[in-house]
Structure 1
């Protein structure tokens, strides 16, 4: 139960945080001249933010179920496919509602945001269709692309702001007033150019090593886990 809760909470709070960033939070200039948050904890648990949390929770849950179906065989694969069908539908309804709400909140019609929102829906429906056909590889790719497009939609909805203030645009944090110094940006660019390819290579190698499906038939005693065997050994 603990691992379920600690896995679900970050997925939920990730959406809550991003939704609050898009919607705007109470920011104002302090006496020191810096922009500070002046709201309370429950300001962050508004309906729009909670809907955003439901979106990310259901999308990540479905993404995980699709990956589980991709990497397993037999009964586990069947159950993961069934779970993805249901959670994928929940995610679709939540995401459409959230993106519609997001577009209605914008100060003016933004063709880029509308187009990206439509792409999110197209990619997700395509991924779920692939899951129904038990083509989990394509389903996983399309769900991953959906997540990337969804995040891009939120960033385009924000630009050039990075965190709007609900108390007035004069308190908004933008890419200009919230940016680091030129020296810091140069250092981080160099670090990113070096480290990003290394991370991608490592992740690619990891996926290649674990590219095959696994099933209970490959486990000597599938009914007993590692902790069961340790406990049995200690009590002998």
Structure 2
């Protein structure tokens, strides 16, 4: 396997890991007002992801940075095309991050209500916008021979990109509900269970639509069809376990494989292309024509081989430390049960 291909796999791994980890706290942030009817219940929901949300978001930064370092042409063309959309995404992520920190600073109902809404809006917009951008990679954008985007903002709203955005948003909501069934207690846990059952079938239907659409767009070989089948099967498993309510751990694992599998399948179907050009297929960016120099990739590979396992161990330890359920304590506080 050549180094450019290795780094394509690394980039795909970071994007997949981002949605597996950040997906559930997108879901919790978007639904905290639904599963929590009082301020204390909403804090129970928020505090389930409080210790980990910012660490999960680092995966997005690393995914973008690895694209910039390993495939600068890909980064330049795609991020330039998504310029206005990226501004919206950054605003959503900033508002969301600030909401986590500012919401609990004052007890005034208006203050907490305002930051609660910004948390909800930011958590909804982020997976939706990222999903549209990822979908555009496979659906294609008007890119010329120099790799410059020649379209308008409306050209970013490809049908497949919009459906993928809605799918990743729905899966984030489902993943968030599954996480709350593992970490919440009391009324928040009960409402998360009920909402999980309602979301199972729509999420599974969207995954099946996206899976078929990927096959139609990319016409992948055996490996591509297998990659597409993984999230489809996991979505069915998540539906069965979610509706039965028998195993919260198995349901969470199934939703994790589903949302991660959708993103991974997208990259498998995309390879060896990086960004499809709708202007002329000859202008499409590929692993071969968009990678950095061999020396740069060698240095990056050594650094990644040392640092990535350390980061994974540290983040795994964080989840182990904060593994207990969150419950409402005295005087409206929240504590680990």
TM-score interval (norm. to shorter): 0.7 to 0.9
User: Could you tell me which of 210, 221, 225 is aligned with 1:110?
Assistant: 221
Task: Give secondary structure in 2 for the equivalent of 1:162.
Answer: strand
Question: Is the Cα–Cα contact under 8 Å of residues 58 and 88 in structure 1 kept in the other structure?
Answer: no
Report the structure, 1 or 2, having the larger helix content. 2
Question: Is the Cα–Cα contact under 8 Å of residues 21 and 162 in structure 1 kept in the other structure?
Answer: yes
Corresponding residue of 1:120: 231
- Give CA deviations for 1:66-86 in whole Å, capped at 9, x if unaligned: 101111122211111111222
Q: TM-score, normalised by structure 1?
A: 0.86
User: Could you tell me which of 9, 13, 37 is aligned with 2:129?
Assistant: 13
Corresponding residue of 1:137: 249
User: Could you tell me which of 161, 166, 173 is aligned with 1:54?
Assistant: 166
**Deviation for aligned residue 1:109:** 5.6
Task: Give secondary structure in 1 for the equivalent of 2:274.
Answer: strand
Whole-Å Cα distance in 2 between the matches of residues 206 and 5 of structure 1? Answer: 27
Number of residue pairs aligned between Structure 1 and Structure 2: 217
User: Could you tell me which of 302, 310, 314 is aligned with 1:198?
Assistant: 310
Moved more, 136-145 or 1-10: 136-145
Structure with bigger gyration radius: 1
1:110-189 to 2 correspondences below 5 Å: 110-131=221-242, 132-189=244-301
Moved more, 145-154 or 60-69: 145-154
Q: Which has the higher contact order (CA 8 A, sep 6+)?
A: 2
Whole-Å Cα distance in 1 between the matches of residues 151 and 211 of structure 2? Answer: 25
Q: Which runs of 5+ in 2 are unaligned?
A: 1-116
- Give CA deviations for 1:60-109 in whole Å, capped at 9, x if unaligned: 11111110111112221111111122222221111211221221223x46
Q: Which runs of 5+ in 1 are unaligned?
A: 226-236
Task: Give secondary structure in 2 for the equivalent of 1:221.
Answer: helix
Q: State the superposition RMSD in angstroms.
A: 1.7
Task: Give secondary structure in 2 for the equivalent of 1:35.
Answer: coil
**Deviation for aligned residue 1:153:** 1.2
Whole-Å Cα distance in 2 between the matches of residues 38 and 88 of structure 1? Answer: 39
Corresponding residue of 1:221: 331
Task: Give secondary structure in 1 for the equivalent of 2:288.
Answer: coil
Runs of 4+ in 1 over 6 A off after TM superposition: none
Task: Give secondary structure in 2 for the equivalent of 1:166.
Answer: coil
Note if 1:100 corresponds to 2:216.
no
Whole-Å Cα distance in 2 between the matches of residues 159 and 62 of structure 1? Answer: 28
Question: Is the Cα–Cα contact under 8 Å of residues 193 and 245 in structure 2 kept in the other structure?
Answer: no
**Deviation for aligned residue 1:129:** 2.4
Q: TM-score, normalised by structure 2?
A: 0.61
Task: Give secondary structure in 1 for the equivalent of 2:289.
Answer: coil
Corresponding residue of 1:233: none
- Give CA deviations for 1:119-146 in whole Å, capped at 9, x if unaligned: 2111122123223324111111121122
**Deviation for aligned residue 1:183:** 1.9
Whole-Å Cα distance in 2 between the matches of residues 138 and 5 of structure 1? Answer: 29
